[in-house]
């Protein structure tokens, strides 16, 4: 599952997630599109804000990076 899908299941907009986490909306967008990879600390912050297991967030970013690499090849 992607970060966007997790966020949408939590019924949050990017703006709401940004407010909860104190991250910028732009950064949330970059995370969701795989253009940025957050630190482990930020991943934990996202997990807490989205009320999911940190493992779900870590897996979401691993999937995003793998799918992005496939597009480049």
Residue pair 21/35 in contact (Cβ under 8 Å)? The answer is: no
Q: How many CA atoms lie within 13 A of 36 on its CB side?
A: 15
At 22 the three-state DSSP class reads coil
pTM: 0.84
Backbone φ, ψ for residue 24 (5° rounding): -75, 155
Q: Which domains does the chain have, with CATH numbers?
A: 3-72 (1.10.260.40)
Q: 7 exposed, middle or buried (CB, 10 Å; 0-12, 13-18, 19+)? A: buried
Residue pair 10/50 in contact (Cβ under 8 Å)? The answer is: yes
Tens of pLDDT along the chain (73 residues) come to: 999 999 999 999 999 999 999 999 999 999 999 999 999 999 999 999 999 999 999 999 987 665 555 555 5
């Amino acid at each position: 599952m992607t970060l966007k899908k997790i966020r949408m299941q939590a019924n949050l907009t990017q703006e709401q997630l940004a407010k909860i986490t104190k991250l910028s909306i732009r950064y949330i967008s970059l995370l969701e599109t795989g253009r940025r990879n957050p630190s482990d600390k930020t991943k934990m912050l996202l997990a807490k804000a989205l009320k999911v297991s940190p493992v779900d967030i870590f897996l979401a970013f691993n999937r995003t990076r793998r799918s992005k690499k496939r597009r480049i090849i």
